[in-house]
Amino acid sequence: MKNSITVSIVSHNQFLLVEKLLDDLSAHCAHDISDVILTINVEEHVSDVSVYNFPVQIIKNCTPHGFGVNHNAAFKQARGAFFCVLNPDIRLTMNPFPTLLDLIHHSNVGVVAPRVVNNSGQREDSERRFPTPWELMKKIAGGKSAVWSDAHPVSSPDWIAGMFMLFPRSVFEELHGFDERYFLYYEDVDLCARLALAGYKRLVCSDVTVVHDARRSSHGNLRYAAMHLKSIFRFFFSDAYREIRKL
């Protein structure tokens, strides 16, 4: 479907990564993109964005906002029938959207995503089971997260990581987007839980892959660790989590 997707990207002093992503989108996906909304969350130099094969609208924040606030604000400016949340460190080697759009037109699909791999081609844990306090304790003790395992070309995990999420506009609007009470982390888990409660599928297509060129700048940072922990507890004490445990 031509020019049907609005892409939302948030930069945290990451414009060099954003440029690479915009280059990828322009080279491979311009036919499917109606517009890109780029949110500059902290002050940084931004090069000319008029050179791409789609319009790029820039939103500059005076003070940094959270993940959900930024993407929800972008959604209010979106032109497309579909809304795609992309991290700046995603790399595209081909156009993932035709296959994903085919999937999203199936009955009761709320969000779709490609398989995400790292620079070495190894699968990332971008699709998982819903977390539980027990799983969290195991992870703290040195265990691994409950990664979704499914050999089928199309799988339906509990939740999909926010580095690449493609929504029908109507569904994102119906669910009121991301819960803005989460500043960082678990916005994607919460939204996928609410999608499940509303009867919407969350699908991942392993026939389509994108590369996560992860920089992991937040690893080992106590401030980000505190944010992560706060978001975990918010989710575990949320109505969405209480209801999802009943399914």
161-200 exposure pattern, b = at least 16 Cβ within 10 A, e = fewer: bbbbbbbbbebbeebebbbbebbbbbbbbbbbbbbbeeeb
pTM above 0.75, yes or no: yes
Domains of the chain: 5-129+146-215 (3.90.550.10)
Of the CA atoms within 13 Å of residue 207, those in its CB half-sphere come to 10
User: What tens digit of pLDDT does each residue of 87-146 get?
Assistant: 999 999 999 999 999 999 998 999 999 999 999 999 998 999 999 988 777 766 666 655
User: What tens digit of pLDDT does each residue of 213-244 get?
Assistant: 886 555 557 888 888 889 999 999 999 999 99
